[in-house]
Amino acid sequence: MLLSRSKVMEEVTGAQIIAEALKSQNVEYMFGIVGVPIIEVAMAAQVAGIKYVGMRNEQAVEACRLYSKFAARPGSLAMIPAVVEKAVRSSIYGRPGACYIDIPGDMVNGRVEQTSVRFPSCCPPPPVSLASSQEIAKASRVLREAQRPLLIIGKGAAYGRAEKGIRELVEVMGLPFLPTPMGKGVLPDDHPSCVSAARSRSLLQADVVVLLGARLNWMLHFGFPPRFSPHVKVIQVDLCAEELSNNVRATVALLGDVRAVVGQLLQSFRSDPWRYPSDSAWWVTLREKMASNAQISKRLALRTTLPMNYYTVFQHMAELLPRDCIIVSEGANTMDIGRTMLHNHYPRHRLDAGTFGTMGVGLGFAVAAAVLERSQQTGRRVVCVEGDSAFGFSGMEVETMCRYKLPVIIIIINNNGIYSGVGPETWREMEKMGELTTVAPPVTLLPEARYEQVMCAFGGRGYLVRTVEELRSALQQSLADIASPSILNVLIDPASDRKQQEFPWLTRSSL
Amino acid sequence: MLLSRSKVMEEVTGAQIIAEALKSQNVEYMFGIVGVPIIEVAMAAQVAGIKYVGMRNEQAVEACRLYSKFAARPGSLAMIPAVVEKAVRSSIYGRPGACYIDIPGDMVNGRVEQTSVRFPSCCPPPPVSLASSQEIAKASRVLREAQRPLLIIGKGAAYGRAEKGIRELVEVMGLPFLPTPMGKGVLPDDHPSCVSAARSRSLLQADVVVLLGARLNWMLHFGFPPRFSPHVKVIQVDLCAEELSNNVRATVALLGDVRAVVGQLLQSFRSDPWRYPSDSAWWVTLREKMASNAQISKRLALRTTLPMNYYTVFQHMAELLPRDCIIVSEGANTMDIGRTMLHNHYPRHRLDAGTFGTMGVGLGFAVAAAVLERSQQTGRRVVCVEGDSAFGFSGMEVETMCRYKLPVIIIIINNNGIYSGVGPETWREMEKMGELTTVAPPVTLLPEARYEQVMCAFGGRGYLVRTVEELRSALQQSLADIASPSILNVLIDPASDRKQQEFPWLTRSSL
Amino acid sequence: MLLSRSKVMEEVTGAQIIAEALKSQNVEYMFGIVGVPIIEVAMAAQVAGIKYVGMRNEQAVEACRLYSKFAARPGSLAMIPAVVEKAVRSSIYGRPGACYIDIPGDMVNGRVEQTSVRFPSCCPPPPVSLASSQEIAKASRVLREAQRPLLIIGKGAAYGRAEKGIRELVEVMGLPFLPTPMGKGVLPDDHPSCVSAARSRSLLQADVVVLLGARLNWMLHFGFPPRFSPHVKVIQVDLCAEELSNNVRATVALLGDVRAVVGQLLQSFRSDPWRYPSDSAWWVTLREKMASNAQISKRLALRTTLPMNYYTVFQHMAELLPRDCIIVSEGANTMDIGRTMLHNHYPRHRLDAGTFGTMGVGLGFAVAAAVLERSQQTGRRVVCVEGDSAFGFSGMEVETMCRYKLPVIIIIINNNGIYSGVGPETWREMEKMGELTTVAPPVTLLPEARYEQVMCAFGGRGYLVRTVEELRSALQQSLADIASPSILNVLIDPASDRKQQEFPWLTRSSL
Amino acid sequence: MLLSRSKVMEEVTGAQIIAEALKSQNVEYMFGIVGVPIIEVAMAAQVAGIKYVGMRNEQAVEACRLYSKFAARPGSLAMIPAVVEKAVRSSIYGRPGACYIDIPGDMVNGRVEQTSVRFPSCCPPPPVSLASSQEIAKASRVLREAQRPLLIIGKGAAYGRAEKGIRELVEVMGLPFLPTPMGKGVLPDDHPSCVSAARSRSLLQADVVVLLGARLNWMLHFGFPPRFSPHVKVIQVDLCAEELSNNVRATVALLGDVRAVVGQLLQSFRSDPWRYPSDSAWWVTLREKMASNAQISKRLALRTTLPMNYYTVFQHMAELLPRDCIIVSEGANTMDIGRTMLHNHYPRHRLDAGTFGTMGVGLGFAVAAAVLERSQQTGRRVVCVEGDSAFGFSGMEVETMCRYKLPVIIIIINNNGIYSGVGPETWREMEKMGELTTVAPPVTLLPEARYEQVMCAFGGRGYLVRTVEELRSALQQSLADIASPSILNVLIDPASDRKQQEFPWLTRSSL
């Protein structure tokens, strides 16, 4: 008699390996658009316990490789888990950034014996480094001698979860601070030491600037005159060595984790206590300027003429929005003015178009944030403040919000154009003048477009808003509904603009 | 006495040079999205007499460079016109293709003395080449000896405006033909010699295939068995040398302009007349298959059950659409089945997602076509046939259509998903089962989404269509309105699918 | 009893597939530098009957991809032969060019069942296309009306093997011609109708220029004034559509194979005979200029002062070199002046650094040419004329020549520098002045370096040449030895230069 | 009367700006090959006080961009200094690396008003960061508990100048260490605690490995079994966050400057003293293995048969070379065996082909090192140990050495081939067998090639070496001559190979 024992080889597909590799790195969500052969990956991900969110609009499949921190193509199926581990680790170690893995379709559907695939364990949290003691001592010395010190709180401080230490720096040492767009909320924007309302003056007159995870890029005018003093001393805290002394030479370069380095600074001040006097000339001039600027904003916000202006709209939004809401924003004036008027009160509660001002990212950010907040049952709301042009880039994602019942509140500040449009009457005049491709300014969009109906099309709530009353009522209703997304289509004066700036140069970049 | 003569130097900006350079190459339209510093270019273009169409969604700023036939960055302002000329010329000479010019923002706003800039004249029409006489003679010989000949009419025949000669080849020589997706309409799809309804059989059994500007890429199964006979002889006509004998060795390689080469072939048949017998066994088997396939499609099209299926929808659309309409299409099944059911009757009246099946291009194509048709007062309508998923990629372009009052008719074949979705009841069942990111198949979209209301939001016409009557009525109304765009949101059975295929392999690629 | 029949699967490695794929495309030689894992490919190539030539110096592993006409990475072992076929075909179809295939090391050593690999047959010769009859008629008309016609014979005419037809055009129609560097030899440089000795005048005053596979790039001053008449009419013959009307608008654009199109032109002149008068004012002025230029060169060549100058050296080389030798050249003045003084008498007998003036290619070209000539037993000699700086880029390839006993004659025109150096005495003066990195002009090299000894080091012949007698004797000995390579290290006056040019502008580019 | 005051604008060229920008960043040397338009840059550099070294061979103009840490193209002349500053700073901050600036020729020769160009001051030395105290404590704990600890000293420790602290770690704590190729010399190779002679065993059996600026790449077998224990604990010290836990999960990840972190570790051991027992079983087994391996090498080195083998050659070189010489090396076996036999005694005294084993870099490294040592008058000699194949890549650089009288000693270990060649007799047999391209193994080079004569050609010293006596004599003479370079062409047995390895796998990568 012949006994035969068949060896059963268990095979796995590329799609399964991808899914398992992501799962083993604790990846919880996958966002995508299915098509051949992504569909297999998405299904394998769901089987592996990863939540899949189907989106509507994607950009440039291969282009993102150019903007990635790490990009690789696994050489074989068995190498996929190691490449995924490297990508996940690279995305969170050092300066965080997107990573790109290119896996050909053949590989997704390829098969390999299960035992030949090894899955690395989930990578540990990012390592932490400190600044050297000599530099800390030097920083302390420079700060103590400062006449007009200023802390600038950047994205790196938020990513580095440095809020506790920075609060102590501000409150115990008595220093004024200014957040960058993505640094807003590390300390509350309405903190008495926040000098955002005197931004230009504080930048221009500071003699010592402490950069806490903030970069001197175009949003901070590169640190150059005439926006900064040519004699400004910079104390720079950053975890990326190559960023130190970039554009402006750092007087003190503190290389290390922002939270840890702030801790070192505090330690030095604790051992030899010091406090910047709250009655200094610097505080006086800053408070004066803040008061006068607040006055101007207030005046604009109180205007009752219709159509409304930016300031009125943001003023009432600010009054009604919960302190802990997540604010997503993109656009030109909408984002710029919104940054000054809509306060953040908690760190990492803001997502905006960022350093490169990329349009079209807002709704995707909002979907991701809403999925996460619901999953973690935080009760926090996601509010997406969009220019009307910005909304056009990926407006169809409202279907995604409706599909997953994500209660995102989209507020479109609609000025009928890019930078500024025209009203319905002017538009009708233009139509009479000739072919619109010839006569309409390139910045104009259809006047009074009913964007809110796009939300209604998919079962969400839509509100057309022309007055303060309508705005407040619509926003209150939206906030009350925790099961559906809404759009507030807020018609403002197409000629509405920012208030007068001291520096016309690079006005886009007002923090 | 001192006489002073001031020399006035006229300066021009980079934006003006770009605009003038395009104008001098007879560029008539510019499509774009303004932002800093594109706004200056757009305004200069309007001043130069170029029509500007403002769009809503753009893809991958720099990525397109990778897919361009010619890419350059001018080294100085004075070099812009020469680079523009090269780009325009390259885009239409040889195999046509997109070109990419990268002009840094500094250059757009730079200035240079006007007299230092030289504008090349508009480039002449593309040069024409012919095949060699020996190859023509060989082609003629191979064709005369063919038992089962087949012409395949490709995009190159359409671009090369070869329709007149090809018609003669078909009608005088009595040859069957098959168009590729972008070759549809070179001869009418309802021409008695068109064997699209017997596509698989004609490809498989042909012993001589004449490729007229068609490539043996994946859409033609690379010319490989089991979809083609391993012994098939290929007579290939193409203006691109590198394309000849690609994937399958050409028995006769005719390098030259498709129109000119077809003329040479005709000449050879005129001097020694020949006609393929219309009662051949080949024609008999093709006609038989066409009749039986038509029967199946007919049966599907006549089904009256609701929700409708693809065939019913396309059947009625086909009956009502004007013969000269421009058909734009993108999607998966929608594009595949639509290609077989919606006939083209004129060359270059079809635009679809093309060789790479790129999603998101349809509405842009439709805007461009509609602008052009209106400008040339042809009276031709643009009909955009979209899958519901495809529509999501750039659905906001309906605002552009409304803004410019472009009477595009968008017909969304809505099956609630990608490839196939689920109905509202199944969806509600799934919602009860758990978190949708976990339980909903990645292919599903919101059931019965009201895409037509997106059009209404901007003042266009929207129709929700569930029945044949509603379909016919909505389409007739849309056709009657020459001043507004419309969306017909046609709800079909989410389980509707293509009819049974002989070859399950590569079904995506059904011609 | 148990009978077992083992199925023997024949496996092949990636290296073997690469070798067989090249062999099946009739590739006869492989040039390379072994290392892991190229060694396996080289050995498999030899087994497959491909000759392997081991070189010493390679450039830029991956960089060449950027300059390749076709670049691909096979997705699997089985796809290698198809990719190789595409690369070989692309390299010879249309405009010829290098192709790049990237095969990862894993793949070279991978294994796959032999029967799963399919090898395409060798690709047929490139297809040939013709210009349209109307354009031919127009070209004929323009030529007949020309007052000062000029043919420019380019690389494309040589590649296209158009020599027979072009000779008829020149001799029967009586037209003057000018070759580009790589067009030299299509007709002999000493043909009475060759006007190279009046190059500048012929370009400047021609009213009709016929470009036969020549491009108006920097070597032809882009066809721009002041080197060309602003009113020149261009009849352009090229197989690449995108090249037509490039830089200068073609009056007649003849798209097609150069040989075939020349045949069409001849046909038109045969049917309606025409001859450009040999006593025209144009011929008179050209012959006058040629005589006076020849006089100047002659005078320079006859100078007997030592060190020798370029003209003397080239004059004597020209007298002794066999008419059918292959001339390879690279360098600055060496290549420029050598082009005018060293005549080619047969087509495709010249290889120089080409359009981009890339240094370091000469010795590799010479090795390849010598291997081929020996293999085909043509008895032709390969002569490599090098500047001393140029020789430095890949001088170690002389070991390759010695190893394979390739009787290449390398003539180094040694002026102790790049563009121009200094003599030994000046050098010694400089050494006294200070650190050489500070005082030596960047163009200087070691004076009177004994490059010929580099050849001796590997067993070849080396000659130090200071006088005409030494030059003639060394060259004669080198020519007599058909089994070894030699170097003639010809010391010339470091201050030797080109003769006075009419146009100082772009002197590098003197044809 | 008319008074006119002319404003004189001082203009500077791009070349001058480049030179001044480099100078202002304290760049002292420029290495290059002149040609249009580099010549202007080189001359401007000399004027600015930068020393210019003219080289003979360059690789891949644009390819290096791909391998650069930072790459940029200045947008205008005025931006050049800022870009240069960023490049210089990026090259030394964080992980050091090459940077690439692409400046078009037009820009080099462009002109701009001098006052419009601003030069940033020289960037400060790289910032220093420390590891966190908790991680230091953890590292200390893990080390104290180690049974079989091993320090691996990498390139990062050398760059970071951590030698003093590491010596204390080794000598006071009693730990064994192993250097990587570029870590050799941080502590002397003949230090009693160096276990290089038991490399394989130490890697395999260590239970705790401390990586001091060393990466687990292919040269360390990725840290994977079977070369490492699967249970090994890794304490990793690196200044690059992304490198931590790469390939193998770090038990302790110490992010920071290697020197500073080693100082932190020492501090922890000082406050709670500990010493690893020198009589541990681990030390016993390591010493045992070192003794037996040394025995084998010794036996090989003492062989007196001719031709010599690698070990004999290196043994005698090691005896004669000054302890402080700079050793440059490239090749296959030559570099591998040389690493084990030629000891380094000082940090940063070794340059080899590095992580990617790039051939052709050795002579360039040697030129640069020799220029620097001479300029700093250290009296240190540069010794370049080359495989014969490796020498072929850029052998012409010996002219550069002669030109600048750089007393580099090049020792070519000549085995007539790549990996291994054949002797003259076998070569002659092969020549009789047929065409060499067909019969010669791809690894063979010309036997007994006289590379030393290449040096003689340019006035340097050349020695042919066949015996121990010739080797010693030649090396002594070369060392005695401080004004000329020399080549020792050391003929060894072409069949000579490495001694038997325990792990045939990845033998290339033996440290």
When the pLDDT of each residue in chain A is averaged and rounded to a whole number, the result is 91
Note whether A59 contacts B62, CB cutoff 8 Å. no
Chains contacting chain A through 3 or more C-beta pairs under 8 A: B, C, D
Q: If you average pLDDT over residues D447-470, what whole number do you get? A: 97
Hey, is the C-beta of A76 within 8 angstroms of any chain C C-beta? yes
Measured in degrees and rounded to the nearest 5, phi and psi for residue A488 equal -105, 115
When the pLDDT of each residue in chain D is averaged and rounded to a whole number, the result is 92
Please report, for chain C, the start and end positions of each structural domain, with discontinuous segments joined by +.
11-116, 133-286, 303-509
Same fold, A133-286 and A303-509: yes
- Report the range of poorest mean pLDDT among B395-404, C43-52, C490-499, D428-437: C490-499
Q: Tell me which of C371, C386, C410, C454 to substitute to probe the interface with D (most D C-beta atoms closer than 10 Å).
A: C454
Measured in degrees and rounded to the nearest 5, phi and psi for residue C317 equal -60, -45
* pLDDT tens digits along D31-85: 988 777 788 999 999 999 999 999 988 765 855 666 789 988 887 888 999 999 9
Span between the terminal Cα atoms of chain A, in Å: 85
Chains contacting chain D through 3 or more C-beta pairs under 8 A: A, B, C
Q: How far is CA B318 from CA B178, B190, B193, B475, in A?
A: 19, 11, 19, 11
- Helix (H/G/I), strand (E/B), else coil: B323: coil
Q: Cβ(C167)–Cβ(C220) under 8 Å? A: no
Q: What are the beta bridge partners of residue D308?
A: D492
Amino acid at C158: A
Among all chains, which residue has been given the structure tokens 């569930």? Answer: B466
Q: Enumerate the residues of chain D whose CB falls inside 8 A of the CB of residue C427.
A: none
Measured in degrees and rounded to the nearest 5, phi and psi for residue B145 equal -90, -5
Residue B236, CA atoms < 13 Å, CB-side half-sphere:
25
At residue D506, the pLDDT reads 35
Q: How many CB atoms lie within 10 A of CB D305?
A: 8
Three-state helix/strand/coil letters over A147-178: CCEEEEECHHHHHCCCHHHHHHHHHHHCCCEE
Q: Closest residue of A to D97, CA-based?
A: A242
Q: How far is CA C9 from CA A9, A110, C6, D163, in A?
A: 20, 21, 9, 58
- Helix (H/G/I), strand (E/B), else coil: A440: coil
Note the helical H segments in B97-153. 105-109, 133-144
DSSP secondary structure letter of residue B308: B
- Given a cut of 60, is residue C5 above it in pLDDT? no
Which among D2, D76, D106 has the least Cβ separation from residue B106? D76
* pLDDT tens digits along D197-249: 999 999 999 999 999 999 999 889 999 999 999 999 999 999 999 999 999 99
At residue C289, the pLDDT reads 97
Q: Which residues contact B55 (CB under 8 A, 6 or more apart)?
A: B31, B32, B33, B364, B367, B397, B400
- Given a cut of 90, is residue B59 above it in pLDDT? no
Q: Which residues contact B54 (CB under 8 A, 6 or more apart)?
A: A440, A442, A443, A444, A445, B32, B33, B34, B42, B400, B403
Hey, is the C-beta of C2 within 8 angstroms of any chain A C-beta? yes
- Given a cut of 80, is residue A316 above it in pLDDT? yes
At residue C405, the pLDDT reads 96
At residue B511, the pLDDT reads 32
Note whether B60 contacts A63, CB cutoff 8 Å. yes
Hey, is the C-beta of D47 within 8 angstroms of any chain C C-beta? no
Hey, is the C-beta of B4 within 8 angstroms of any chain D C-beta? no
Q: Enumerate the residues of chain C whose CB falls inside 8 A of the CB of residue B126.
A: 241
Three-state helix/strand/coil letters over A291-325: HHHHHHHHHHHHCCCCCECHHHHHHHHHHHCCCCC
- Given a cut of 80, is residue C246 above it in pLDDT? yes
DSSP secondary structure letter of residue D51: E
User: Cα distance from A159 to chain C (closest Cα, Å)?
Assistant: 38
Q: Cβ(A370)–Cβ(A347) under 8 Å? A: no
Phi-psi region of A14 (alpha: psi -120 to 50; beta: other; left: phi over 0): alpha
Which among C2, C76, C104 has the least Cβ separation from residue A75? C104
Which among D2, D75, D104 has the least Cβ separation from residue B104? D75
CA angle at residue A97 from A95 to A103, to 5 degrees? 140
| Beta-carbon pairs below 8 A across chains A and C | 7
Q: Enumerate the residues of chain A whose CB falls inside 8 A of the CB of residue C106.
A: 75-76
- Sign of the Cα pseudo-torsion (B195, B196, B198, B200, in order): positive
- Tell me the two tokens of residue D148: 């079989």
Which among B34, B52, B63 has the least Cβ separation from residue A437? B52
Which among C129, C247, C253 has the least Cβ separation from residue B256? C129
At residue B398, the pLDDT reads 96
Hey, is the C-beta of A89 within 8 angstroms of any chain D C-beta? yes
- Tell me the two tokens of residue C84: 């190789």
CATH of B133-286, picked from 3.90.930.60, 3.40.50.1220, 2.130.10.10, 3.20.20.100, is 3.40.50.1220
Which C residues, 168 through 187, put their C-beta within 8 Å of a C-beta on chain D?
none
Q: Closest residue of A to B448, CA-based?
A: A458
The H-or-E segment that residue C384 falls in is strand C382-387
Q: Tell me which of A1, A3, A4, A76 to substitute to probe the interface with C (most C C-beta atoms closer than 10 Å).
A: A76
Hey, is the C-beta of B104 within 8 angstroms of any chain D C-beta? yes
Span between the terminal Cα atoms of chain B, in Å: 85
At residue C62, the pLDDT reads 58
Q: What are the beta bridge partners of residue D90?
A: none
- Given a cut of 50, is residue A1 above it in pLDDT? no
Q: How far apart are CA B48 and CA B81, in angstroms?
A: 14
DSSP secondary structure letter of residue A457: T
Q: If you average pLDDT over residues A425-440, what whole number do you get? A: 93
D500 pLDDT band, cuts 50/70/90, is low
Q: Enumerate the residues of chain A whose CB falls inside 8 A of the CB of residue B46.
A: 438, 442
Residue, of C140 and D38, whose pLDDT is higher: C140
- Given a cut of 50, is residue C508 above it in pLDDT? no
User: Cα distance from A16 to chain C (closest Cα, Å)?
Assistant: 20
Taking alpha carbons only, the member of D225, D214, D218, D168 closest to residue D193 is D168
Q: If you average pLDDT over residues A56-72, what whole number do you get? A: 75
Helices D333-341 and D281-302, packing angle to 10 deg: 120
* pLDDT tens digits along B176-232: 999 999 999 999 999 999 999 999 999 999 999 999 999 999 889 999 999 999 999
Fold annotation for B11-116: Rossmann fold (3.40.50)
- Tell me the two tokens of residue A452: 């809110």
- Report the range of poorest mean pLDDT among A279-283, C306-310, D73-77, D265-269: D73-77
DSSP C492-508: B-TT--PPPPS--TTGG
Q: How far apart are CA A436 and CA A433, in angstroms?
A: 8
Note the helical H segments in C303-451. 310-320, 333-341, 362-375, 388-394, 397-403, 424-433, 436-439
Q: How far apart are CA C196 and CA C190, in angstroms?
A: 9
CA angle at residue A403 from A399 to A408, to 5 degrees? 70
Q: What are the beta bridge partners of residue D178?
A: D152
B64 pLDDT band, cuts 50/70/90, is low
- Tell me the two tokens of residue B130: 């012919």
Q: Cβ(D174)–Cβ(D151) under 8 Å? A: no
Q: Which residues contact C330 (CB under 8 A, 6 or more apart)?
A: C352, C353, C358, C359, C360, C361, C362, C386, C387, C390
Q: Enumerate the residues of chain C whose CB falls inside 8 A of the CB of residue B86.
A: 246
Hey, is the C-beta of A436 within 8 angstroms of any chain B C-beta? yes
Taking alpha carbons only, the member of D511, D502, D504, D147 closest to residue D293 is D502
Hey, is the C-beta of C53 within 8 angstroms of any chain D C-beta? yes
Which among B391, B443, B449 has the least Cβ separation from residue A34? B443
Q: Closest residue of D to C443, CA-based?
A: D34
- Given a cut of 60, is residue A417 above it in pLDDT? yes
* pLDDT tens digits along D437-448: 999 999 999 999
- Report the range of poorest mean pLDDT among A105-109, B11-15, B362-366: A105-109
B102 pLDDT band, cuts 50/70/90, is confident
User: What does DSSP say about strands C129-131 and B129-131: parallel, antiparallel, or unpaired?
Assistant: antiparallel
**Helices and strands counted in chain D (H then E):** 19, 18
The H-or-E segment that residue A41 falls in is helix A38-47
The most confident of A196-205, B32-41, D66-75, by mean pLDDT: A196-205
Q: Closest residue of A to C75, CA-based?
A: A106
CA angle at residue D402 from D398 to D408, to 5 degrees? 70
Q: What are the beta bridge partners of residue C31?
A: C53
| Beta-carbon pairs below 8 A across chains A and D | 94
At residue C131, the pLDDT reads 97
- Given a cut of 90, is residue B58 above it in pLDDT? no
User: Cα distance from B455 to chain C (closest Cα, Å)?
Assistant: 43
Hey, is the C-beta of A104 within 8 angstroms of any chain C C-beta? yes
C1 pLDDT band, cuts 50/70/90, is very low
Which among C2, C76, C104 has the least Cβ separation from residue A106? C76
* pLDDT tens digits along A453-465: 999 999 999 999 9
Q: How far apart are CA A243 and CA D127, in angstroms?
A: 11
Q: Quote the longest CA-to-CA distance of chain D.
A: 103
Q: Tell me which of B76, B77, B102 to substitute to probe the interface with D (most D C-beta atoms closer than 10 Å).
A: B76
CATH of D303-509, picked from 3.40.50.970, 3.40.50.300, 3.30.479.10, 3.30.465.10, is 3.40.50.970
At residue C509, the pLDDT reads 34
User: Cα distance from D363 to chain C (closest Cα, Å)?
Assistant: 13
Q: Cβ(D104)–Cβ(D134) under 8 Å? A: no
Q: Cβ(B161)–Cβ(B259) under 8 Å? A: yes
3-state helix, strand, coil in chain C (%, to 5): 45, 15, 40
Hey, is the C-beta of B458 within 8 angstroms of any chain A C-beta? yes
Note whether A438 contacts B62, CB cutoff 8 Å. no
